[in-house]
Every structure is written in C-alpha cells, then in structure tokens.
Chains A and B, each alone.
Chain A
C-alpha cells in the first residue's frame, strides 16, 4: 500500500486486517525510461565532485600503488559529477537526474530510500499510540530530532540535525494523512521540506501476552542523493540503523522508563589520568 496514495488506499486497507501489507515506495519515485545519457541528479553531482576531490587527494598523498587506486576512484567520482553520467548507475538502471526540481514527492522521479522495521513492546497499544501521537515527545527517542512543534490542522514543524553533515540543520513541515486511534498514524512532509518524507507507524496487538508490535515504515529523499546516503551510511548515520535505534529507544522508554547511557561514566586514557567518557556519533571511517 502506498502511503501517499490516500484515496485508493482506504478500501484496500479494510480488506487487510491490521494493514499488514508492506508499504511500497511511491510509484512516482520510480525511474522513467532511460532516454538521456545524464543520469545523476544536480545535487548529487556536486557531492560527487566534492567527495571525489577529497578521495583523489587522499589517494595521491599516499604515493603508493593502493594510493593510486584510491586516487583513480576519486577521479571516477569527479568524472561522474562533472559529466552527470555514471556507468555504474547505467548498468544498475538507476537514474537520479530526471524529474528533479518538481518540489513535491509527487512530481519527482528520483528514487527514495525505503525503511521498514518493527519492534515488539511490552505495553498496550493505547499507551504507545498516546506517546507517539503527541509528536512533541519524539525528540526524546529520536536522536537526530532537535524539536517538533505541533501546529494547527494536524500539521507540525520538525527540526533535525545530521551529525554526518557537520551538524547541518534541516527543517520541514508535515501533516497527518491518516490517524486511527491506537492503531495507525501516517504522515507526509509538505512542500519546501529539507528532507521530503512519508511514513507510517502501526500499533498491532502481539500474539498472546507479547504486548504490541510496532511497525514503522518510511520513505524519504536523502538530501544529497544516493551517494550522500551512502556516505551517511559509512559514517554511522545509516538511516535504517538510525530508525531502528530510535524505535529501540521508544521500547526502552516505554518498558523501563529511561534510556540508559554510558556518556559521563569514568574512563581511562592509558596516560595516567582518566576522564569522563565521551562519544561523538560522527565517526569518520578512515581514522
């Protein structure tokens, strides 16, 4: 079932109790035919040139055979950024260039990232729905969210921060597209969003006394294209992992009332004088 496609979805859901069907990415994001050679989106081209330059310099500075290989990889990234043509995308049938600039999800052909994950939480659906429905609670469990403000008419304003992009601030407005108390909440971002997204959370009674199954599904457009998504994945900001961790935080908070941390505990330095433990989420791969 497509979340965006509200008009046709209602009857479909009713025939499937619990709405257990996996959510397909919106049809509009699928690639049209491959008519032109340019197959890399504008923003992704810029990222590609920038990242390629860094990789090439890293490679060249090594002055070794592996270094040369790394440099040529960087060169390939600069090439695809400069020309907008990516042989790898071509062979995979991916196209991130066409339909860009439409603004709305509906107007775009770029493929989004689809995430689906589930947890069983040992609490009744009413309690879980009640917490989630007040979106202003969500920054307590979602590490990347700075704040959520509820506006009028089922709308809300979201502010997030991506550590892997130097703490870049991203904002969007969202509206609720479906709201079935204690069962389901669907939302989508409104035009002008920094991160366009649609999503849905379902609360479904588990078997026996197993509490509630919470299923979250999301489609979102990575702000820097698929390459940006890939870089974010390397740095630990892998969206699938982030959503899973957020949902696990939800489970922790609902079941035990707090989210355990180790930040601030004692830690050694091996130099004779320890200090409180710190940890940055942003961990570059090559250090």
Chain B
C-alpha cells in the first residue's frame, strides 16, 4: 500500500475517499490533464484492484482525445493498455485463478467468458460487460464488450492511465504473467501485440503472399512482424516519409519493403512489387483519422467531418481496396467509429475481396503470444521509444500525435 498518497486538501465531498491517486483524464478535444482522483474500490463481487506498474498510450486513445469518438464525458479516465500487481480481490473472485500479489496484464476488452460470443472466443463482442449497452445498440445495432477508458459507448469504465485500476470479472480479465520478463516485453499483450497479430492471423497468410500494410504506428509495427512470423513471402509497409520517416525505418529494420506515400505512387509501387497482380493481403492499420493521399481527398474528408456529415476519414481504407488483388483479403485492425464516405464498393465487390476486421479478441491470443516472447521469436519492447512518468501524460499524447522526437510508443510509469 506504500504507493497510496493522502489528499492534501480536505474536501467534504471526498471525505470517505482520502486515498487519492493520479490519473490522466480527458477534459475536452485535444485536452488531457493529470488530476488527483479517488482510488478505485471493489464495486462488484468479482472485481480486483490492480496497482499498475506500466500503462501505455494507444493510437486509438488519440481518436478519443481528438474527439472523433463521441460519448466521452469530461473527467473520464483514459487508458486501456495496463499491467501491474493485484492489490485486492473481491469476495467472489476465483482464488485458484487469481490472488493478491499476482503479476498481470489486463486486456482492453472486458469479457465475461459465459455469453454466446465469449464461448466462441469472440471476446471483444461480449454482450454482458457493457453497462451502457443501449448506447452501443443505438450506434452499432448491438452492444460490444466494455472497454477500459474508451468512452461511454463501451461502458464508461475508468481507464488504466492511473496508479490503480479496478478490473471487473477479474479472474477472467486479469491474465497472469511470469515474473522473469520485463514490463516492456509483456505490457503490449494487453492490446497492440494481439491486435497486430490478429490482423495478420485473420488473413491465412501463405508463403507466396505479398502483404501490404498501411500505417507504421505501433499496431502497424506489430502487424509487420507478425505477418513475417506467420510466413509471408513479402511484407510492404506504407506511411508518410516526411512525418513518419523514422517509423518507416523501424519497419525496414524488421525486414519490410517500405513505400513513402508522399514521394511515391503507392498503387504503382505495389503493382510493381507484386509482379503486376496487386498485393494478396492489404491491412489498414491506420483507421479513422487517416490523412488523404491527394489534396482533394484530404480537403473533402476534412470538410465533411467538420460539418459532421461524415465521422471517419477512411483514406487508407479506400487505397487498400483499390490496390488489393482480385480475390484477396482486406484486414482492418484500424479503428473506425461511425460513418465513412466514398468507399469504393464497386472495386470491393467486383474484385471479390474478403474483409476481416473487429476489435481484438485479446484473451484468445495471450497464451500463444506470450509463448512467442518466451521462445525469443519476438521481443515486443522494440516499439518503446519513450518511458515517462504518468504525470507527464499530456506531453506523451502531444509527441505521439505530432510524431515528434521520434515517438512510436509511449509507456507511462505510474510509480514515477
């Protein structure tokens, strides 16, 4: 309990909440603050409280912070890539599966393990864990799993960019980790490593396949490495060489062929690299805040999103559809939140593309991916460029969004 600090100023409203912790909260679009909030408490009987040792900023946090996903409330705690030590467990937590002192990572979707979807290992579709199911029902037609720190559309759960995190259905959602691996080698099992893996795994990669990946952010980096682990013949990484040249270099270091979409014609290069047939597998690891490939397209999407006639900017997705070879597979790990315009449905349909997408079913992949780390097939810590104290979270968001200081992945240290 040594980490807990005592409130400096007495406030009658929080009289019972004298223990306070630091947390990164969302206040307004582009505005993140670090504030003192009450410590989390056990609210349901299968909850656990985890004292976090590492917690990360995810690319999808930027969509929230930038106001692209509505349903954020000022004061919501951000973050969904945490790991730490179990500090307290509720009375109904299965003691054989989880106990105080266990080192755990916490997958970003909250799964129940009992519903139709969980029994089919579609954990991110769990329909029991979102307390605000009616919001998701209105937006998507059916609810999805609750997610930590990911707006009220996914339940409004307090997020993991804090000193402590309450985990519901803890024996299901805390994944035990061995003690001999460094935090940076396992923390990404909570989101981006399984996300990159699922994006590639979805595509049933063959040895003679050319895989093209749009976006060299953290998820793109993992997708590149996982596509290679799964035996792809050729991996091509696409990003903007002016703003993200260092990310293209990181992709090249992993063995990918890189395309700078600012100075090269992506379609021509991909055709050339695939012997004129087009890439067999196209993966959009960019998502809804994509920057257009031509000035016209960028302006079109900016105007429409600002007028609220369109909520997403799907430039990478459009290009992926156009480039993919007939009968190929399109995998979309990038996050989209609402409506997208000018999707080339003609190309999609006539070329007979297969689409694979979804929020990651993290729980399903954790044991397998942990084994890969233990076997030395991959060392996920390659992606970390910054480890900064939690109190500097706003700075972390800024360098990550602006791609400053060679930033690929920011890990926050709640104890610093």
Give the interface of A toward B (CB within 8 A): 120, 122, 210-211, 241, 244-245, 248, 251-252, 255-270, 272-277
Contact = CB atoms under 8 A, between A and B. Distances in A.
Given A251-B128, A275-B17, A276-B17, A266 B37 contact: yes
A269 B33 CA distance: 10
The 10 closest A-B pairs by CB, nearest first: A274-B37, A268-B25, A268-B75, A266-B37, A270-B27, A255-B114, A265-B158, A268-B35, A256-B112, A266-B38
Q: Which of A248, A265, A276 is packed against the most chain B CB atoms within 10 Å?
A: A265
A275 to B, nearest CB: 5
B158 A272 contact: no
A210 B115 CA distance: 9
Contacts of B127: 248, 251
28 contacts: A122-B116, A241-B134, A244-B137, A248-B127, A255-B128, A256-B169, A258-B45, A259-B131, A260-B146, A261-B43, A262-B43, A262-B158, A265-B41, A265-B158, A266-B23, A266-B39, A267-B76, A268-B23, A268-B27, A270-B25, A270-B35, A270-B75, A272-B36, A273-B9, A274-B38, A275-B13, A275-B14, A276-B17
Given A245-B133, A268-B77, A277-B158, A261 B44 contact: yes
B157 to A, nearest CB: 6
A157 to B, nearest CB: 29
Contacts of B328: none
A267 B146 CA distance: 17
Interface string B104-132: 00000010111110010000000111010
Contacts of B119: 122
A156 B122 CA distance: 41
Contacts of B46: 257-258
Q: Which of A210, A258, A268, A269 is packed against the most chain B CB atoms within 10 Å?
A: A268
B127 to A, nearest CB: 8
Contacts of B77: 266-268
A260 B131 contact: yes
Given A266-B37, A266-B38, A270-B27, A261 B115 contact: no
B165 to A, nearest CB: 10
B287 interface: no
A265 B33 CA distance: 18
A285 B17 CA distance: 32
B8 to A, nearest CB: 10
Contacts, number: 125
Contacts of A241: 134
Interface of B: 9, 11, 13-14, 17, 20-21, 23, 25, 27, 33, 35-41, 43-46, 74-77, 92, 110, 112-116, 119, 127-129, 131, 133-134, 137, 146, 155-158, 162, 166, 168-169
Contact of A267 (B21, B39, B158): B158
Contacts of B158: 262, 265-267, 277
Nearest to B133: A248
A258 B44 contact: yes
B25 A244 contact: no
A78 to B, nearest CB: 32
A188 B39 CA distance: 47
B35 A273 contact: yes
B166 A265 contact: yes
B49 to A, nearest CB: 11
A204 to B, nearest CB: 16
A187 B183 CA distance: 58
A120 to B, nearest CB: 7
Nearest to B46: A258
Contacts of A258: 44-46, 92
Nearest to A242: B134
A244 B134 contact: yes
Contact of A263 (B40, B43, B133, B146): B43
Contacts of B112: 255-256
A259 B37 CA distance: 24
A210 B117 CA distance: 11
Contacts of A277: 156, 158
Nearest to B8: A273
A163 to B, nearest CB: 15
A262 B38 CA distance: 14
Contact of B40 (A252, A255, A257, A265): A265
Nearest to B40: A266
A274 B22 CA distance: 10
B166 to A, nearest CB: 6
Contacts of B156: 262, 277
Contacts of A255: 112, 114-115, 128
B2 to A, nearest CB: 19
A206 to B, nearest CB: 9
A263 B35 CA distance: 19
B169 A266 contact: no
B37 A268 contact: yes
Given A256-B169, A261-B131, A262-B158, 7 more contacts: A210-B116, A255-B112, A258-B44, A265-B40, A266-B38, A270-B27, A277-B158
A245 B9 CA distance: 40
Given A274-B25, A276-B17, A256 B146 contact: no
Contacts of B146: 260
Contacts of B76: 267-268
B75 A267 contact: yes
Nearest to A248: B133
Nearest to B164: A266
Contact of B33 (A259, A262, A268): A268
Nearest to A244: B134
A252 B44 CA distance: 13
B20 to A, nearest CB: 8
Nearest to B13: A275
Contacts of A275: 11, 13-14, 17, 37-38
A262 B131 contact: yes
A261 to B, nearest CB: 6
B340 to A, nearest CB: 27
Contacts of B134: 241, 244-245
A280 to B, nearest CB: 13
Nearest to B31: A270
A207 to B, nearest CB: 12
A207 B184 CA distance: 45
